[in-house]
Structures are given as structure tokens and as C-alpha cells.
């Protein structure tokens, strides 16, 4: 009975959610698009010509928003000024101009596939650094066991950070999803060791009752040449 009440309450909130209605109106696949939109409008993350990596992309609303920001014109076939590479362990319906592939970012083989997609850009860059923005909306399946879930979340953020540290341009940015609670302060401290600016972001589209927050890191402290 309690479970049914919870499901009914969630469904009621979802149907009446203004961001759900906005997403439906503007063709976004999820309300999460407005989380990225608010952060981007505040922090000016996405610019024409950017190379953007979207980790944990499915169902694709972040990639949709990035594509809109990089579009050359109003027509659907206008193409983009920049590049979007997206991945997720769940399938995603195709989005024009988005290079999506299926895989678990925690696996070395999948990371190698992502790096292979960047090989042409790495070769053209004097120091191999070719990415302007790394987005991570990744979150592991939560078990309900606090310490175990915190460790899983910390692990995926560490992987995103490691990738960003390797491929971001010196003035590039990393935006990751996190949850307040056990392990949060350690995540922030680890990111501060790599970036000059690390700050939380809680967009309005992120529900108040949720512990979800986003961490924005900018400016690599120790950029070095990428080895390939």
C-alpha cells in the first residue's frame, strides 16, 4: 500500500512538473535539459566550435541542448559548429550530429573506444588536448546501502575527472552530477587538486527534496601533453 501511495504521488508530481511540461513543449527527451540549460546560461559553458563529451547521455536531453547551442542555423540539416560525442550503457535514440555509442564508461574497453573517437582531434592539437567540456550525468544503480552507494558514485566521478584531466583544454570545464552525503566532501577535495575552480551548482530544475547537486570544475592546474 505504501509503495502504491509513493508511486501515485510521484506520478502526480511528474505530470504537474513545470519542467516536464516545458520539455514536452520544446521537444526535449527529459526535464534534465533544463538543469544543463540553467548552468550553461550562468557559467557560459558551451560556445560555437566546442568539442563536448556527454557521459551518461541517455535518453539524450543534454546532447539535444548542446546540439542546439552548437547549431550553425535554424534548419535541422544545418549541422553544428563543433562536435558532440555521447555514450551510455543504455541505448539512445539517434540525435542528428551526435556521435553516440553504447558502453559502460567504467570499462577500459569503452574508454578506449571514446579515446579512439578523439584520435583525429588529438593529432591536430599541439598538446593533444582537444576537449572543451566534459559533462557527466552518470549515476550508478543505487542499492540503498549508504556507504556502498557513496563509493559507487565517487568511482564514476573519479573516472570522469581522470578523463577530463587527460583531455580537457587548459581552460576547459567538467560538470558532474553528485549527491550530498557520505563521500561528497572527498569528491570535492579530489577535484580541487586538479582544477583551479570547483563549485557546486543546484539548478532550479533539480528538485528541492533531492540530494542531487552538480559540481562544476574549471581550469586545469597541471595541464600536460596527451600521450597517444
> Which residues are catalytically annotated?
177
Torsion of CA 39, 44, 49, 52, to 10 degrees: -30
For 62, the grid coordinates are 543534454
All three cell numbers of 149, joined, read 552507494
Let me know: does 175 contact 214? Beta carbons within 8 Å: yes
Cα angle at 88 between 82 and 89, to 5 degrees? 160
**Helix residue ranges, H only, the chain:** 2-15, 18-26, 33-43, 61-70, 108-117, 119-124, 146-167, 184-192
Cβ-contact 174, 161 below 8 angstroms: yes
In contact, 117 and 84? CB cutoff 8 Å: no
Nearest to 92 by CA among 50, 64, 124, 117: 64
The cell for 44 is 557560459
Amino acid at each position: 500500500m505504501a509503495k502504491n501511495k509513493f508511486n501515485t504521488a510521484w506520478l502526480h508530481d511528474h505530470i504537474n512538473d513545470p519542467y516536464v511540461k516545458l520539455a514536452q513543449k520544446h521537444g526535449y527527451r527529459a526535464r534534465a535539459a533544463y538543469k544543463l540549460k540553467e548552468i550553461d546560461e550562468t557559467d557560459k559553458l558551451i560556445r560555437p566550435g566546442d568539442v563536448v563529451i556527454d557521459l551518461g547521455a541517455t535518453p539524450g536531453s543534454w546532447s539535444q541542448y548542446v546540439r542546439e547551442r552548437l547549431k550553425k542555423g535554424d534548419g535541422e540539416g544545418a549541422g553544428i559548429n563543433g562536435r558532440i560525442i555521447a555514450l551510455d550503457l543504455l541505448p539512445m535514440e539517434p540525435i542528428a550530429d551526435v556521435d553516440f555509442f553504447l558502453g559502460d564508461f567504467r570499462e577500459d574497453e569503452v574508454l578506449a573506444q571514446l579515446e579512439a573517437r578523439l584520435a583525429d582531434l588529438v593529432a591536430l592539437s599541439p598538446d593533444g588536448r582537444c576537449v572543451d567540456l566534459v559533462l557527466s550525468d552518470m549515476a550508478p544503480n543505487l542499492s540503498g546501502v549508504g556507504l556502498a552507494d557513496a563509493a559507487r558514485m565517487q568511482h564514476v566521478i573519479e573516472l570522469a575527472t581522470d578523463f577530463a584531466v587527460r583531455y580537457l583544454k587548459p581552460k576547459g570545464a567538467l560538470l558532474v552530477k553528485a549527491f550530498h552525503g557520505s563521500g561528497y566532501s572527498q569528491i570535492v577535495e579530489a577535484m580541487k587538486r586538479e582544477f583551479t575552480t570547483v563549485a557546486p551548482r543546484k539548478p532550479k530544475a533539480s528538485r528541492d527534496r533531492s540530494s542531487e547537486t552538480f559540481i562544476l570544475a574549471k581550469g586545469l592546474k597541471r595541464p600536460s601533453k596527451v600521450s597517444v
